[in-house]
């Protein structure tokens, strides 16, 4: 997937982000401060915090948040009533929501905060780095990725139909020596979690962060640099794509 997008002027981008945050505050007023929830403070990998949508959250060392173990699904996103732009390929309700802009991801987090009374938001760049770990890639140092490690552009795409090939951009390449069973998005949590119990920090969909930056790569990525844990993609707050989604965190 092409992912390095032309940024708007920094001042315009900052202004757009500020306007979005103000609109969210007006639409979903903040609840009065409440004492820390013991369920958030006691959450662990073995006993995660579970919210009203059934989303599971686990701690990540070095942060003051709980990470959702999976990317936000189609069903979870649709629960907010924000509307959903389905991609050209088929998805089920447990696949990650795609075609979600940064603005829309922020609006979803504001809706979830108002619904549950906890503070939900997108991860910061530092928090996401802590969750993915220090390796060159989410799986370690070797190339290519181990088979079925995550959802990237693997040999499974050789089985695409003509209609499916039309969805992929011209010049699309696949990773030699790697396959992962899913041509496009996969149900969240289809592959093994990392050491903190978090799934899909590599592959499936790029994840919007607070700044707004994108991390993690997607089902359509094949280049080493895009799959590296340190790689960052950039887009304007209103940009959408079939490889772009998000996960949320909840502040303890």
> Residue 34: which pLDDT band, with cuts at 50, 70 and 90?
low
State both tokens at 136. 């060159």
How large is the average pLDDT for residues 171-198? 96
Is 58 a residue whose pLDDT tops 70?
Answer: yes
State the CB neighbour count (10 A cutoff) for residue 156: 17
Identify which has the larger pLDDT, 18 or 123: 123
Percent of the chain that is helix, strand, coil (3-state, to 5): 25, 15, 60
Write the pLDDT tens digit of every residue in 110-128.
999 999 999 999 999 999 9
Tell me the whole-structure pTM to 2 decimals: 0.87
Beta-carbon contacts of residue 242 (< 8 Å; ≥ 6 apart): 87, 88, 89, 98, 99, 167, 184, 220
Beta-carbon contacts of residue 30 (< 8 Å; ≥ 6 apart): 113
Is 27 a residue whose pLDDT tops 70?
Answer: no
Is 72 a residue whose pLDDT tops 50?
Answer: yes
Residue 126 CA neighbour count, 13 Å, CB half: 5
User: Treating both helix axes as pointing N-terminal to C-terminal, what angle do 10-27 and 102-116 enclose, rounded to 10 degrees?
Assistant: 30
10-251 is classed CATH 3.90.1580.10: yes
Pick the closest to residue 1 from 199, 216, 172 (CA basis): 172
Mean pLDDT, rounded, of the chain: 90
> Residue 11: which pLDDT band, with cuts at 50, 70 and 90?
very low
Q: What is the pLDDT of residue 5?
A: 41
Q: What percentage of the chain has pLDDT greater than the value 90? A: 83
Range list of β-strands (E), 115-176:
120-121
Query: Where do the domains of the chain lie?
Result: 10-251
């Amino acid at each position: 997937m092409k992912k390095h997008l032309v940024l708007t002027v920094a001042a315009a981008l900052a202004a757009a982000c500020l306007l979005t945050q103000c609109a969210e505050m007006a639409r979903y007023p903040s609840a009065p401060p409440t004492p820390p929830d013991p369920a958030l403070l006691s959450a662990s990998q073995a006993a995660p915090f579970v919210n009203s949508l059934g989303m599971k959250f686990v701690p990540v060392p070095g942060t003051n948040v709980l990470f959702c173990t999976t990317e936000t699904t189609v069903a979870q996103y649709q629960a907010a009533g924000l509307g959903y732009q389905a991609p050209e390929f088929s998805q089920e309700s447990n696949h990650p929501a795609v075609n979600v802009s940064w603005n829309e991801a922020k609006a979803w987090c504001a809706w979830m905060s108002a619904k549950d009374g906890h503070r939900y938001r997108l991860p910061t760049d530092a928090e996401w780095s802590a969750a993915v770990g220090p390796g060159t890639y989410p799986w370690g140092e070797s190339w290519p990725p181990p088979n079925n490690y995550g959802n990237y552009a693997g040999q499974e795409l050789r089985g695409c139909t003509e209609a499916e090939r039309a969805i992929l951009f011209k010049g699309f390449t696949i990773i030699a020596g790697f396959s992962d069973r899913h041509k496009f998005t996969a149900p969240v949590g289809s592959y093994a979690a990392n050491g903190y119990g978090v799934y899909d920090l590599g592959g499936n969909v790029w994840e919007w962060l607070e700044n707004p930056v994108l991390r993690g790569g997607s089902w359509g990525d094949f280049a080493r640099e895009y799959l590296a844990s340190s790689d960052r993609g950039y887009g304007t707050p209103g940009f959408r794509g079939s490889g772009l989604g998000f996960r949320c965190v909840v502040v303890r």
